[in-house]
Each structure stands twice: as C-alpha cells, then as structure tokens.
A and B are shown apart, each in its own frame.
Chain A
Amino acid sequence: MSQPILNLLNLNKSFGAVKATSDLSLTVMPGEIHALIGPNGAGKTTLIQQIYGAQKQDSGQISLNGSEITALSVPDRVKAGIGRSFQISNVLMDFTVMENGIIAEQARLGQSFRFLRPAFSDRQLIRGGKAILERVGLEKRAEQRVGDLAHGERRMLELALALATSPSLLLLDEPMAGAGPEDSQRMADIIEGLRGTVAILLIEHDMDAVFRLADRLTVMVEGAVIAAGTAAEISANEAVKLAYLGGEE
C-alpha cells in the first residue's frame, strides 16, 4: 500500500471547555476523495484549520507526504502542496475574474516580487490565468467583477485559485453550500473530474453529493471520529445513523 498524503495522529484542540478536536487520527490516500461529515459544530472546520496551519493543534502530529508540517506557516504549507477553499467563499472581491486568475498565475510562477512590467496586460500571465479559469469553466466570465458573480460561480473561482498551486491535497470546506442546484451539480462534476489527480478532503452537508463523490468517509461528532469507511459501510453503521444520519431520514 502506498504512503498516505495526509496523516493525522492523535490530534487535540480545545477552545476553553469546548473540545473541538479530540484524539483524532485520520489518513487521506493519494488521489482519493475523502469526505468528512458531522453535525454543525462537530469540529470539521477547526480540523481543516489545523491541517492548513491557520490554527495550531494543542497536541498530536500532522504529516504531509510523510514529513511533519506542524512548524510550517500557511504559505509554506501551501508550497508544500496544500490547497484550500473556505467555508465562506474567499476570493479577491475587488478584482475581475481574470485578474484573480492572473494574480494566482504570477504567484504560481514565483514572480510576484517584480516591479516593472504591468501585470494585468502581460500576455504570458493572461494565458496562464485563462488556463486556471478554464479548469472550472469560468473563462467566459473573465471580464466580470467578482462582486457581480453568482455565489456558486464565486465558489468555482475559489476552487480554481486553490487548484492553481497544483496541490497534492485539497481541503474543501462545504464547496456547495449556498450555491443553487445547478451550480452544485457543476461543482460536483468538477470535483468528480479531479478524482485520482489530487487527494481531496471534502467537508459537505449535502449527503447525496457526499455519497456520490466520496471514496471513503469519516464521521465526526464533538471533535472525535465515531466511524470511518466506505459509503456502504457508513450508511449501514448504527452509531452513525443514531448520531447523525438518523435525524435526517
């Protein structure tokens, strides 16, 4: 068996009396789509924050491709191969879609520290920026201001920006939340298309999407893993039904 992309070992994180992550261990394998589900407040976002480096765990280990990354800053973890979309969409709102792509492209090329040539009219950057947008089918919206985009399109743009750094692990925090049914479907198709090329840790409340997309699922309640396995195993799991799925069906 190959080495996991992401390996979490006995992770703990508390906010005062709230145990947001409780002795949590989890692995994500190369190329798999790994869904992380659980009720509101289960600690899913907090877990992603720790993997991403925006919050520090109280104890436990996080390794990416076999090396411990706890000491790395957010930008360094991105360079090490982590890409992310946020629960609340996080794009460059004051710019056009194309400009978002261009800024991502120049960052990808490591050219952001140049002072002379105008960036937004640079042919090479425009070509690269366009390629970034094409991965999610947003190139037709290139000249739109991001502020004028539909919510679902913003989520798509955010995914494009996250993919721009060619991550080996993609952390997606509810990429379909707030998007209309059509955009959700498109987003699911795009994620489906990524299977095998990048490992994805996917937080999602839409169970149809989760069961369609996930190779494996981990179920979290109150900071702890209560079950892990394939879609079939999880939907048959009594504890999960009781704690989580039961409420919906």
Chain B
Amino acid sequence: MSGLSQFLALAGDGIKANRLLWLLIGGFAVFPIFTHFADLPFWNDVAMRIMLLGMAAMGLNLVLGYGGMVSFGHAAFIGIGAYCVGIGEFYGLTNGWAHILLGMIVCGLMGLIIGYLALRTSGIYFIMITLAFAQMLFFLFVSLEQFGGDDGMSIDRAEFGLIDLYDPLRLYFLIWVALALVGLGLMFIVRSRFGVTLRAIKSNESRIEAMGLEPLRFKITGYVISAVICGLAGVLFANWQEYVSPDIMHWTRSGELMIIIILGGLGTLAGPLLGAIVFLLLEESLPMLLGAVAPAYAENWMILFGPLLIMVVLFGRGGLVGLIATRNQSTSNQKRGKAGQ
C-alpha cells in the first residue's frame, strides 16, 4: 500500500523532471486519433517504426550516453529478438508473450557474454569488438539456410491471448505500452544509485575504483539491460514487419541507432526518441524533397542529412534536446533577469 503510493510519488517526480520524454510518449498515444481523422493510416505505420527504433535507441543510450561505452553492434540484439519470433514460430511456438520472454532472456544472455568479453577493452578496441560480434551473428544467420538464410523468413503476427494483432491498432498499442514501460524503467534506472554510478564511471572510472567499486560489474549490468531492451524492440519489430532477415542486424542499423541518439541528445532520456522521430521523418521526406528537385538523387537523401547532422552536433552540443534545453534556459534566465531589475 504505502509501497505503491511511494512508487507513484517517485514516478510522478520523475515524470515532472522529464516532461519532454512523456510529452513525446503521450503524443504517440493520441497520434492514431489524428491519423484517423486526417485519413492517413500509412502514418500509423511510420509511427510504429519510430517507436521501435526509438525504443532500441533508448536501450543503447544507457550504455552509449550514460555509460560512455560506444557499442557498435546493438542491431545484433534487435536481430536476435526478431529471430526469437521467427525461429520460435518455426518450431511451433506461436505465443507472443513467450516470444517476448524468450527474446529478452536470450538477449540478456548474449549481452552478458558479449559484454563480459568486450568490456575488458575500451575505446576503439571496444567499438571494434562489439562490431565484430554483431558481424559474426549477422553471418551466422545468413548461413542458417533452414531459417531462410539471407532471404530471411516470413512471420505471422504472434498470438497475444485476447489481443489479436491483426485487428487495427492492437500492434500499435502493444508497441506503445512497451515504449512507455521502457521509458519508465530507464527513468528510474538513470536516476538511481546504479545509474549515477554508471554516469560516474563514464566521467572518471579510476575514481570509482578508488571508492572500492568494481566498474566492470556496473558496465556489464548496464550492457545487459540495454541488450534486453533492444531484444524487446526486436521481438515487436518482427511482428510489425511480419518478416525477418539478417538485414535487421546489418551494421548500418547499429550506426543508425548511434546517429539517432547523437542527433536527439546523448545521455538524455528524451533524446533517442526525439532523434528517432526526426531521423525517420527526414528519411521519409528528404527523398521526396530531393526527388522533386533532382530525381536522380532521390536515393541519396543522406547527402542532405549528413550536413544537417553535423550542424546539430556542432551547434547543439547536447543534440536536439540540448538545443531545446538551452532555449528554455535562456528564456527563463531572461525572465529571472527582468524580475531582478
């Protein structure tokens, strides 16, 4: 009883302190109303993709942004989660809850193994080892002919008890609930004793050792949590795509996740989600824009996106969230200044 009310009070405090994150998540909750009345059902699909990549980026951000570990292989965990659905169904496991459980457990174990081995290194070596593990898994799934090899395998949306994912918006809100839970969980974690220790390790690992703590334990734990979140995103991704192939864990997707985080704001709760929104909207609109001006270049929308990303990184030190925060701060400073006069 008092435990629950305490929890709610803590959650309330956290939500107040992270308005932007909950504004975005709330926005996704009401977005289908908009698409319904504007008659743009296609955009529900885009929104699901944004939520899925945003969720995965939020998971990666725990190690990349808060822990300072530049993992260049997190798409592998999305892939493992997705293949847990495909391979599960192949062997007759059609229950979606079981897929989620399986995907999260397998990703947790893989995260533990990869983290344990890779986190003994740091800097460029860590980047390369995480990339190497991801490539290994990529080629493993390419070579598994019974699961479609590089053609992949098609997937039926899983059975979630009373929820039929083929009914309209059921999948949308399943993804939304997962996103909200991930947001809530991460909100608690980054402010907790564990979370501040992880941030302190990023700031100065040797001082944490000097406090008698073993940094590796915290880093591995963070790595496992982030792998589990990406695994959850992967399971839902497979249901959304109704198809899984090794492409889902191509190294360019790991890079995409990093771009999303840096664009949105490294080490912020709202950053990865905001980054995913902007990144995927640009991915939708830039080719059209470019297509209208120079049709031959429509495929190469990155030509425009690249300079944009560089500008955000150069001028908004903390990504888009940083830009928003500095603006708010300067306006509130102005107000305070006026009040003082």
Contact = CB atoms under 8 A, between A and B. Distances in A.
Given A91-B204, A92-B200, A114 B210 contact: no
Interface in B178-196: 188-189, 191-196
Interface in A133-161: 161
A112 B210 contact: no
A78 B193 contact: no
Interface stretch (A59-67, A93-101, A183-191, A210-218): A93-101
A113 B211 CA distance: 14
Interface residues of B, number: 29
Max count, chain B CB within 10 A of own CB: residue among A86, A92, A102: A92
B211 A78 contact: yes
A33 interface: no
Contacts of A117: 10, 192-193
B262 to A, nearest CB: 18
B207 interface: yes
B284 interface: no
Contacts of A200: none
Contacts of A164: 211
Contact of B211 (A86, A107, A121): A107
A74 B210 contact: yes
Given A112-B193, A114-B192, A115-B189, A162 B200 contact: no
Contact of A118 (B10, B212, B213): B10
B203 interface: yes
A106 interface: yes
Nearest to B191: A118
A202 interface: no
Interface in B197-217: 197, 199-200, 202-204, 206-214, 217
A165 interface: yes
A90 interface: yes
Contacts of A92: 200, 203-204, 207
Contacts of B10: 116-118
A171 to B, nearest CB: 10
Nearest to B14: A118
Contacts of A94: 199, 202-203
A79 interface: yes
A120 interface: yes
Contacts of A116: 10, 188, 192
Given A84-B210, A162-B210, A106 B14 contact: no
B193 A93 contact: no
Contacts of A102: 196
B167 interface: no
Contacts of A74: 209-210
A91 B200 CA distance: 10
Given A75-B214, A92-B200, A112-B213, A161 B207 contact: yes
A103 B194 CA distance: 10
Contacts, number: 98
Contacts of A90: 204, 206-207, 210
A197 interface: no
Scoring B188, B204, B221 by chain A CB atoms within 10 A of each residue's CB, the highest score goes to B204
A99 B199 CA distance: 11
B39 interface: no
Interface in B19-54: none
A162 B212 CA distance: 10
Contact of B210 (A99, A118, A161): A161
Contact of A103 (B14, B192, B196): B196
A83 interface: yes
Interface string A53-86: 0100000000000000000011110110001101
Given A112-B197, A115-B194, A118-B191, A73 B203 contact: no
A145 to B, nearest CB: 12
B196 A120 contact: yes
B27 to A, nearest CB: 25
B149 to A, nearest CB: 40
A2 interface: no
A93 to B, nearest CB: 6
Contact of A115 (B192, B199, B200): B192
Give the one of B10, B197, B221 with max A CB within 10 A.
B197
Nearest to A165: B212
Contacts of A112: 193-194, 197, 213, 218
Given A86-B206, A118-B14, A119-B195, 6 more contacts: A75-B214, A94-B202, A106-B197, A114-B194, A120-B196, A161-B210
30 contacts: A74-B210, A75-B213, A75-B214, A78-B210, A90-B207, A92-B200, A93-B204, A94-B202, A95-B203, A102-B196, A103-B197, A106-B193, A106-B196, A107-B213, A108-B211, A111-B193, A112-B218, A113-B217, A113-B218, A113-B221, A115-B194, A115-B195, A116-B188, A118-B13, A118-B191, A119-B192, A119-B195, A119-B196, A120-B191, A165-B211
Interface of A: 54, 73-76, 78-79, 83-84, 86, 90-95, 99, 102-104, 106-108, 111-121, 161-162, 164-165
Closest 9 pairs (CB-CB, A-B): A78-B212, A107-B211, A118-B191, A94-B203, A114-B193, A119-B193, A119-B196, A74-B209, A112-B197
